[in-house]
Amino acid sequence: MCGILAVLGVGDVSLAKRSRIIELSRRLRHRGPDWSGIHSFEDCYLAHQRLAIVDPTSGDQPLYNEDKTVVVTVNGEIYNHEELKAKLKHHKFQTGSDCEVIAHLYEEYGEEFVDMLDGMFSFVLLDTRDKSFIAARDAIGICPLYMGWGLDGSVWFSSEMKALSDDCERFISFPPGHLYSSKTGGLRRWYNPPWFSESIPSAPYDPLLIRESFEKAVIKRLMTDVPFGVLLSGGLDSSLVASVVSRHLAETKVARQWGNKLHTFCIGLKGSPDLKAAKEVADYLGTVHHELHFTVQEGIDALEEVIYHIETYDVTTIRASTPMFLMSRKIKSLGVKMVLSGEGSDEIFGGYLYFHKAPNKKELHEETCRKIKALHLYDCLRANKATSAWGLEARVPFLDKNFINVAMDLDPECKMIRRDLGRIEKWVLRNAFDDEKKPYLPKHILYRQKEQFSDGVGYSWIDGLKDHANAHVSDSMMTNASFVYPENTPTTKEAYYYRTVFEKFYPKNAARLTVPGGPSVACSTAKAVEWDAAWSKLLDPSGRAALGVHDAAYEEEKAPASVDPVLENAFHPPAHGESTLVKSAVPAAAV
């Protein structure tokens, strides 16, 4: 990941202003420690902090067209850049960077080229011929982008809030799948897939299509000129990513550069569920596995730094970001600059445990649509910023545009959790990779119960966070919470504690409005809380709050007797005529 900062139409073009923009750009250097660049044209500035993944020797930014009249600063990866270059044969490319294609596509197609890009990106492009500019963000919001406005009439764009929050009167999280054009002065959505309308699809389930689409999504993300690895928690999603990479690594360019032995990484408290499951998967796949440990106290000590980097006070995001933040530092110290991760699968396939209570396929599908649309505020934000804090890039194959289209075109009936048919959460994905002749994963890993990352690293992690917050937030502070924090009022001491830390770094009202709110159970949207009356009594983002579903559900809040006995315990489908029920000693991970 790189860091971009663009300031356009400033009222002051002095050297002091240029120095200020360079100073603000340095706040993003953790994202791109390899090189810094800035281009200024009259009252416009485009700055860049580079993390060199593709073409490390010549791909420094900003990037240009042939005569340097078009300037672009980009954070991201364009996986189909070679295919796009083939359509631009009369253009002369100056570097081997995958992102340079953006400048030439603009020359060729104008503002309407963005949908041609297959990748993750946020960019700002300046056309010096008429001083117009555009900014765009990828379909799902994998790469972060913020937009702000200065009192002098300037427009700002930045990869992270910290580079513009002090100098902008107002700023927002730039919406995913959108483009801003200075010519029209507004935002418009360039990403318009069929599922976005939330109408119910009807395509029949084709397990081979699911498998092939996902394998293509993984393989295209092996585009790198630097060492890489896979974040492996031992849950279904990250294990499938690791399995597919293992199968295809030998045939890739990166294997010729860095060898065909895959490195995998996992973090957890000693004895945690993820560590055990990840080691088993790594042994099965034959990877070079790195098992990393942290203590509850080490995690607590890192909280302020984590909140500064991820720029949110959302409870579940902070819980999961902290171990990811600690793991990323150790991964970078080993010389690895890029990792593949498993975010997005639960949103696409209804993998969170609360989906056990989806009343029908219509509500399930609508909830998956809502979850995907909000990913940029939660898991995408976490995966990007927790890794970028240490100059590490995370790629997420489940959020491939084509794969999402294939998966979201399925009749959602096949995503419904049906014990009578032997279907647990994400059955359509599990079944697609259930290959008896050449297994991708051991059967009990393939059908391991869903576990959120913040749970899987060790249940005492969340319990320790709650104890820490209880020691720092008094009952009287909670009584007055609605007066101190009228927007998104914290309802627990843990949420209150995180809010106080966030406000220390980002005190403006615009900052707090970039964070979503509302009730949630086991990572649900507020709408899905209505699926079970019992959940309203235990609003917690942990998967253990899914009463009557999770194997290790909170002991003090047992599901009432009226809970459907079908959902009283988590289950796994039979394999070879026998039950494969896996107890909480080996729960599933989020990624």
| Residue 214 · residue 240 · CB < 8 Å | yes
Give pLDDT, residue 9. Answer: 97
Please report where in the chains the tokens 């994905």 appear, as a residue: 429
Q: Check which CATH number belongs to the domain holding 310 and give it.
A: 3.40.50.620
Radius of gyration of the chain measured on its C-alpha atoms: 23
Distance CA 210, CA 406 (A): 7
384 and 512 in a single domain? The answer is yes
Mean pLDDT by 10 residues, the chain (591 residues): 95 94 98 96 96 87 95 97 96 94 97 97 98 98 98 97 97 98 96 96 97 98 95 95 96 86 95 91 97 96 98 96 97 97 97 92 97 97 98 98 98 94 94 96 86 64 95 98 96 97 97 89 82 74 56 46 33 32 31 38
- Residue 181 in 3-state DSSP? strand
Q: Is residue 304 part of a domain?
A: yes
Q: Which of 480, 499, 533 is the last residue of a domain?
A: 533
Q: Which amino acid is at 118?
A: D
Separation of alpha carbons 279 and 379, rounded Å: 24
Order the strands of the 44-50 sheet from edge to edge.
35-41, 44-50, 3-8, 155-158, 146-149, 170-173
Neighbouring C-beta atoms of residue 427, cutoff 10 Å: 23
Integer Cα distance of 182 and 153 in angstroms = 13
Unique residue bearing structure tokens 């959120």: 452
Residue-level pLDDT at 249: 94
Question: 213 with 184, same domain?
Answer: no
Between CA 456 and CA 587 the distance in angstroms is 7
Burial (CB count <10 Å: 0-12, 13-18, 19+), residue 507: exposed
- My answer on whether 130 and 258 are in the same domain is no
Residue given tokens 């009222």 in the structure block: 11
Ligand-binding site membership of 267 (annotated): yes
Adjacency order of strands within the sheet including 70-78: 63-64, 70-78, 119-127, 132-137, 178-181, 186-189
* 334 vs 326: CA distance, rounded Å: 13
Statement to judge: residues 347 and 471 lie in one domain: yes
Domain end residue (candidates: 150, 168, 192)? 192
Which three-class secondary structure state does DSSP give residue 418? strand
The encoded tokens of residue 577 equal: 């005529």
Would residue 163 count as lying in a domain? yes
Rounded distance between C-alpha atoms, residue 135 and residue 291, angstroms: 40
Q: Is there a domain that residue 575 lies in?
A: no
Please state, in angstroms and rounded to a whole number, the distance separating the CA atoms of residues 472 and 107: 56
Contact in structure between 240 and 441 (CB atoms under 8 Å): yes
Please state, in angstroms and rounded to a whole number, the distance separating the CA atoms of residues 558 and 549: 11
Report whether 341 belongs to an annotated binding site: yes
On whether both 134 and 231 belong to a single domain, the answer is: no
Instruction: Say if residue 208 is in the same domain as residue 184.
Output: no
CATH number (domain holding residue 94):
3.60.20.10
The β-bridge relationship of strands 44-50 and 63-64 is unpaired
The torsion region of residue 42 among left (phi > 0), alpha (psi -120 to 50) and beta comes to left
Residue 219: CB atoms within 10 Å: 18
Check whether residue 178 and residue 201 sit in a common domain. no
H or E stretch at 533: none
What is the set of active-site residues? Answer: 2
Examine the domain organization and report whether 139 and 220 are in the same domain: no
Token code pair at residue 392? 């590490």
Helices (H), 537-581: none
Residue 549 within a domain: no
334 with 425, same domain: the answer is yes
- Among 202, 583, 203, 209, which Cα is nearest to 433's? 209
Inside any domain, residue 472:
yes
Q: Which secondary-structure segment (H or E) carries 70?
A: strand 70-78
585 within a domain of the structure (yes/no): no
Q: Which residues pair with 70 in a beta bridge?
A: 127
Angle between helices 379-388 and 315-333 (to 10 degrees): 30
How far apart, in whole angstroms, are the C-alpha atoms of residue 400 and residue 341?
12
Question: Residue with structure tokens 């070679």?
Answer: 82
pLDDT at 574: 33
For the chain, the domain total comes to: 2
74: phi then psi, degrees, rounded to nearest 5: -130, 140
Tokens of 311: 């720029």
In SS3 terms, 439-506 reads as CCCCHHHHCCCCCCHHHHCCHHHHHHHHHHHHHHCCHHHHHCHHHHCCCCCCCCHHHHHHHHHHHHHC
Residue 317 lies in a domain: yes
Residues 452 and 520 in one domain: yes
- For residue 577, being part of any structural domain is answered with no
For the sheet with 288-293, list strands across it.
288-293, 263-268, 228-231, 338-340, 393-395
Q: What is the span of the domain harbouring residue 275?
A: 196-533
Say whether both 428 and 377 belong to one domain: yes
Residue that finishes a domain, picked among 164, 192, 220:
192
Please tell me whether 342 is known to bind a ligand. yes
Per the CB < 8 A criterion, the answer to whether 278 and 234 are in contact is yes
Same domain for 114 and 209, yes or no, is: no
